Amino acid sequence: MQTTMLKLADTPDADTTRAIADALGAAPGVLAARLSTAGASITIDYESPQTSPEQLRATLAQAGVESRVRDAGPGSCCGGCCGT
């Protein structure tokens, strides 16, 4: 299992939240996704090589959700738990 964090371009509204859930729910290899509306980010657990952070970002883009792969700081796994 791998974990990545995607930073959203904007704080998601109800429609965007549904689009994210639908897109990631149908994406191969996605095990779990946690949306932070306050942080405008999504933490995704996935199986590699079935998918990758860039493939997940592309999946969201097809659903109309702009995102970027959040860079993790040195020594951290995804940057999510420390809030950086």
pLDDT in tens, 24-50: 999 999 999 999 999 999 999 999 999
d(CA 61, CA 65): 5
Name 73's Cβ contacts closer than 8 Å, sequence gap at least 6: 79, 82, 84
SS3 58: helix
Residue 40: what residue type?
Answer: A
What CATH number belongs to 2-70?
3.30.70.100
At 84, the pLDDT band (50, 70, 90 cuts) reads: very low
d(CA 16, CA 19): 5
Other beta carbons within 10 angstroms of residue 43's beta carbon come to 19
CA-nearest of 42, 45, 32 to 3 is 45
The share of the chain scoring above pLDDT 90, in percent, equals 79
